[in-house]
Amino acid sequence: MTIKFMEGVLRGERFVGFVESGVTLPNELYRISLAKLCEATGGKTDAVVAKEYLLKSASSVRFSDQDMIDFSPLPPLFPDAAGDAMASGFMQTHNVKIESARDDHGEIVLPNWFVKGLGSSVKLSGQPLRAPRQALALCEEAEVVLVYRSNADGRPEYCGYTFGNDLTDIGRFKRHPGHLAYAKLCDAAVSSWFHIAPPPQSVQGEVSIERDGAVAWKGNFKTGLDALGYRLADMVDHLFSYSALSHPGRIHYVFIGADRSSFHAGFSIKEGDRIVLNFASHDVVISNQVQFA
């Protein structure tokens, strides 16, 4: 059983709902935000504890099917101001992409880190993903996305995870390896489903890229901690040791890297293509159309 949570806005208020199976949010919602829920449970990344808090301590409202049409999902823990959220990630973290996580002297070499953008670059399933018109070759990257909320001292604290698509101009990076920062300045997609749990060990799924209404390319992917060539704790602890990232209330969406993509299979994504990521092991689907801007 996997408990998934979702936060959204209805009638100008934030509500949280949950499912224990399936992907249809029930009509009974709880008058609380995910940020407040994580605070109320003492930062425990335990879905059962969070569910019990909702059932016993949060006020609930049962909406009609008609009302639920107006429910607008949010990215998990999304702040009131988009500028208070940051999307970033690590590159080439998976075993299939690296030979060793240590240098010639046996020292651990941590993967490159990049910035995707602020909250305005974080999109939900169904929304278009913007990429630079001058992009050389785009690729999808199906990833686990860790969600952190900075406490009153500015220290990021892990709240849970979701899944996402780190759309990347891999062609620019391949042509100019020093241009990783530019290659990553495409929108990112995240699922509105939130898992209040430790990062997953194993995730399996399938990518489908649709063009003109038909599937143009399809492939499988694996991700999760078992697929990493690095210790996640080493990556994250080093990242958040930099005080420049410490700001009270800031939400961090951290993409932890991806398996090989359609680009590695020789496929080229074009404007108007729809990327469908099916994280089948966790019953989550993200679908977005690519749009040049």
Name residue, tokens 């990518």. Answer: 207
pLDDT of residue 69: 98
Number of separate domains in the chain: 2
Q: What is the CATH number of the domain that holds 238?
A: 3.90.850.10
The predicted-structure confidence for 48-76, as pLDDT tens digits, reads as follows: 999 999 999 999 999 999 999 999 999 99
pLDDT of residue 48: 97
Query: Does residue 104 register a pLDDT over 70?
Result: no
Question: How does the average pLDDT of the chain come out, rounded?
Answer: 95
Domain that holds residue 93: 82-292
Q: Are residues 58 and 92 in the same domain?
A: no
Q: Are residues 149 and 184 in the same domain?
A: yes
The predicted-structure confidence for 124-137, as pLDDT tens digits, reads as follows: 999 999 999 999 99
pLDDT of residue 109: 80
Q: Are residues 68 and 92 in the same domain?
A: no
Residue that is last in its domain, among 45, 73, 101: 73
Residue that is last in its domain, among 51, 73, 95: 73
Gap between the Cα atoms of 166 and 169, Å rounded: 10
Q: Are residues 117 and 25 in the same domain?
A: no
> Within a 13 Å sphere around the CA of 225, how many CA atoms are in the beta-carbon half?
12
The predicted-structure confidence for 235-280, as pLDDT tens digits, reads as follows: 999 999 999 999 999 999 999 999 889 999 999 999 999 999 999 9
Q: Are residues 188 and 54 in the same domain?
A: no
Query: Does residue 116 register a pLDDT over 60?
Result: yes
pLDDT of residue 1: 64
Q: What is the mean pLDDT of residues 141-167?
A: 98
Q: Are residues 24 and 130 in the same domain?
A: no
Q: Give me the percent of the chain exceeding a pLDDT of 70.
A: 96
pLDDT of residue 108: 66
pLDDT of residue 96: 77
pLDDT of residue 242: 97
Residue that is last in its domain, among 53, 73, 93: 73
Q: Are residues 181 and 263 in the same domain?
A: yes
pLDDT of residue 82: 98
Closest residue by Cα to residue 160 from 20, 26, 8, 35: 35
Q: Which residue has the higher pLDDT, 43 or 57?
A: 57
Q: Which residue has the higher pLDDT, 129 or 106?
A: 129
Gap between the Cα atoms of 226 and 247, Å rounded: 31
Q: Are residues 286 and 252 in the same domain?
A: yes
pLDDT of residue 129: 99
pLDDT of residue 43: 85
pLDDT of residue 105: 56
Q: Are residues 62 and 141 in the same domain?
A: no
Q: Are residues 92 and 30 in the same domain?
A: no
Q: Are residues 18 and 69 in the same domain?
A: yes
pLDDT of residue 106: 59
Q: Which residue has the higher pLDDT, 24 or 108?
A: 24
Q: Are residues 234 and 142 in the same domain?
A: yes
Which parts of the chain are beta strand (E)?
4-10, 13-19, 28-30, 60-62, 72-73, 85-90, 113-118, 122-124, 129-131, 138-139, 142-150, 156-166, 168-169, 188-190, 193-194, 203-211, 214-223, 251-255, 274-279, 284-292
